[in-house]
């Protein structure tokens, strides 16, 4: 960069001229797909062995893959999928992979339409049959299913449908989608379909019809969390590409790995820690990423995500969250949706808020769980039905501080809530 160009950069000059930390920080993003996945060879080999019959134009078994966030499930499936498509080009068998994120594509209509449209995009050798592009809304679902079936038949070969975050689809839309997809092979003659479901939630199968579950989970694979030495290997692999030579203190990678190993062995967490540590060092115009930067990064990640998440919640969500904080102050470490509703109604009465229905409060609780502010689980109470239990995963002081910044929830009248009376109501 010439002196004139450097001078014209103005405000950004100092940020662009310091190349002493990063060579390629994009390697530390979750979206980066390495060519080698450390410590996942057994799982990759198992997925490959199950899908191998597709290369002989046979139907592979359906697979259900479990594991916590950041354990390499999606990356492993994508890697095997690319290898399968590549191998099918050699064997002359048509094998295609369609990867759907069910957190976004979460209805039966959209799933079926997306599969059909992906099939259309992948088809390099269209048949003489006229193909119809399915709109993302507007058709009856049975018409979408028939069009998908016709397109599969016209294309032939084997299609592997990967449903990532499959639990989100089931919780939002029930198991009708899975019922239809797991039985579509009985309607096909020239094509074959295999389903791979990926989930972070080990309990989502409680919501499935037994017939769907038996068809979907013909094979089950569990991805265990990474331990600290394994995370060290993963981080070292990325760091060699991402950082300039000599930019990392020798304690940085082991510390990032150890901190992430405490958080359920989450590789994404470890990568975030390493990346943010480097960014903090870069902003200081330093030449070395140190242990101090890692500790600052940990604090920044935890604070930023929680504070930003809670501070941007609407007032009704904050009121529900405030009800949970009151229950915890009363000594309840685990509380039910019914208890939260009772305390929320007291808060709404004092603040003159429109009182939400129990159904709507349950929806807000689910949103708080999805955002990671609380943890929830559904428990069976026998003939009394099911209820949702929830608890805070960490210290609540920061959450309480952010909630109290809302002018309405800092109202002194909230201190009028009689905890003894509430305790009596819960007996």
Judge whether 80 and 44 are in contact, CB under 8 Å: yes
Q: What does residue 105 show for φ and ψ, rounded to 5 degrees? A: -95, 90
Helices 358-370, 337-351: crossing angle, 10 deg rounding? 110
Per the annotation, binding residues are 71-75, 226, 238
Kindly compute the dihedral angle of the four CA atoms of residues 132, 134, 139, 145, in this order, to the nearest 10 degrees.
Answer: 80
Judge whether 202 and 378 are in contact, CB under 8 Å: no
Q: Token match 């799933």: residue?
A: 111
**With left for phi above 0 and alpha for psi between -120 and 50, is residue 57 left, alpha or beta?**
left
Encode 338-364: b = buried (16+ Cβ within 10 Å), e = exposed. ebbbebbbbbbeeeeeeebeeeebbeb
Per the annotation, binding residues for ATP are 71-75, 226, 238
Q: If DSSP codes are grouped into helix, strand and coil, which group holds residue 401?
A: helix
Beta-strand runs (E) in 210-352: 219-223, 335-336
Judge whether 82 and 144 are in contact, CB under 8 Å: no
d(CA 313, CA 326): 18
Enter the tokens of residue 269. 């967490």
Q: Which of 104, 320, 268, 94 is nearest to 192 (CA)?
A: 94
d(CA 411, CA 388): 29
d(CA 249, CA 288): 7
């Amino acid at each position: 960069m010439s002196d004139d160009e450097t001078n014209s950069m103005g405000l950004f000059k100092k940020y662009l001229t310091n190349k002493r930390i990063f060579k390629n920080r994009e390697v530390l993003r979750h979206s980066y797909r390495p060519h080698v996945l450390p410590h996942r060879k057994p799982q990759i080999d198992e997925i490959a062995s199950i899908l191998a019959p597709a290369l002989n134009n046979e139907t592979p078994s359906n697979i259900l893959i479990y594991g916590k966030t950041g354990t390499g499930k999606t990356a492993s499936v994508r890697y095997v999928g690319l290898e399968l498509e590549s191998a099918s080009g050699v064997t002359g068998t048509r094998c295609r992979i369609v990867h759907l994120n069910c957190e976004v594509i979460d209805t039966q209509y959209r799933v079926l339409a997306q599969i059909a449209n992906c099939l259309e995009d992948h088809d390099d050798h269209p048949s003489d049959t006229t193909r119809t592009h399915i709109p993302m809304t507007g058709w009856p679902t049975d018409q979408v299913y028939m069009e998908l079936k016709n397109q599969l038949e016209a294309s032939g070969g084997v299609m592997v449908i990967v449903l990532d975050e499959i639990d989100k689809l089931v919780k939002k839309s029930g198991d009708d989608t899975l019922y239809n997809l797991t039985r579509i092979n009985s309607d096909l003659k020239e094509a074959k379909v295999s389903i791979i479901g990926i989930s972070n939630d080990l309990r989502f199968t409680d919501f499935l019809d037994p017939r769907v579950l038996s068809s979907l989970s013909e094979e089950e694979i569990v991805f265990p969390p990474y331990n600290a030495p394994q995370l060290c290997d993963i981080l070292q692999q990325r760091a060699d590409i991402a950082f300039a030579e000599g930019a990392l203190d020798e304690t940085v990678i082991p510390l990032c790995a150890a901190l992430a190993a405490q958080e359920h062995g989450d590789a994404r967490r470890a990568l975030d820690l390493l990346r943010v540590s480097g960014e903090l060092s870069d902003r200081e115009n330093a030449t070395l990423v140190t242990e101090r930067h890692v500790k600052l990064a940990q604090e920044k990640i935890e604070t930023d995500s929680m504070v930003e998440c809670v501070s941007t919640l609407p007032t009704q969500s904050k009121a529900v969250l405030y009800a949970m904080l009151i229950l915890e102050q009363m000594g309840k470490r685990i509380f039910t949706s019914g208890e939260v509703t009772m305390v929320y109604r007291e808060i709404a009465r004092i603040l003159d808020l429109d009182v939400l229905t129990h159904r709507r409060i349950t929806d807000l609780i689910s949103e708080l769980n999805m955002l990671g502010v609380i943890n929830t689980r559904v428990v069976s109470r026998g003939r009394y039905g099911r209820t949702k239990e929830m608890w805070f995963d960490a210290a609540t002081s920061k959450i309480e501080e952010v909630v109290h910044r809302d002018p309405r929830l800092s109202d002194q009248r909230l201190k009028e809530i009689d905890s003894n009376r509430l305790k009596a109501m819960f007996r």
